[in-house]
Amino acid sequence: MPYRDLQTSDLIKFQLDPEGILDSIERTLRGQIFDDIRQDWIVPKGGVALMNEKGVTTLMNVVIRPRVNKNVYLTNLSEPEIKKIMYKTMLNIVEKLFVSRKEYEIEKDNLDVILHLIEDNLLFALNRSLDEGERNFLKTTESVKEIRTVGGAQPPKRSLFNRPKLGGG
């Protein structure tokens, strides 16, 4: 596979892979930050998780992961559909957080932070599917890749007897 194709392939994988976003949300809920010196995630001195491990696991597996993924990105949703999904999902999240606040060890002051973190990232994920947004990006990327591959190809040099020269030169 040519280097150019590898770069495009990596770009598409990076574009569609939600793991970086999901990891960031999960670590924020755990109260972790990335320490550049240690090159690792840590809970800073005096830092506190926004909820306990059970809350993080439940939110990530039941609410966030099913809605922040490649299938969502590659769907074709209209603005009213996105609003409907957001409304239903946020209603469920608010209910779940308030009912389970003590079980998940969530401080009242952190409820707003948690809700906005989830709401913003969910909306960003759903908006990627607005009017085939992500699909159109991929189609454009494929078209550019094809143009570069086809348009950039040089015909082989020919010898005196109209045969391609060995070694291309």
pLDDT tens per residue across span 5-62? 446 566 666 666 777 888 889 999 999 988 899 998 888 888 889 999 999 999 999 9
Q: Mean pLDDT throughout 159-168?
A: 57
Q: What are the backbone dihedrals phi and psi of residue 43, each rounded to the nearest 5 degrees, phi first?
A: -95, 115
Does 123 fall in a domain? Answer: yes
Does 167 fall in a domain? Answer: no
**Which pLDDT does position 118 carry in this prediction?**
92
pLDDT (tens digit, 9 = 90+) per residue, 92-118? 999 999 999 999 999 999 999 999 999
| Owning domain of residue 94 | 3-150
- Residue 113's nearest CA partner among 61, 50, 32 is 50
Does 160 fall in a domain? Answer: no
Does 161 fall in a domain? Answer: no
Does 143 fall in a domain? Answer: yes
pLDDT tier at 63 (50, 70, 90 boundaries)?
Answer: confident
Q: At what angle do helices 3-16 and 133-151 cross, to 10 degrees?
A: 180
**Which pLDDT does position 2 carry in this prediction?**
42
Domains identified in the chain, total number = 1
**Which pLDDT does position 20 carry in this prediction?**
80
pLDDT (tens digit, 9 = 90+) per residue, 132-156? 666 656 656 555 555 555 555 555 5
Q: Are 33 and 16 in contact (CB under 8 A)?
A: no
- The DSSP H or E segment spanning 41 is strand 40-42
Judged against a pLDDT cut of 70, whether residue 120 lies above it is answered with: yes
Does 164 fall in a domain? Answer: no
- Residue 105's nearest CA partner among 43, 31, 44, 33 is 31
What is the CB neighbour count within 10 angstroms for residue 98? 11
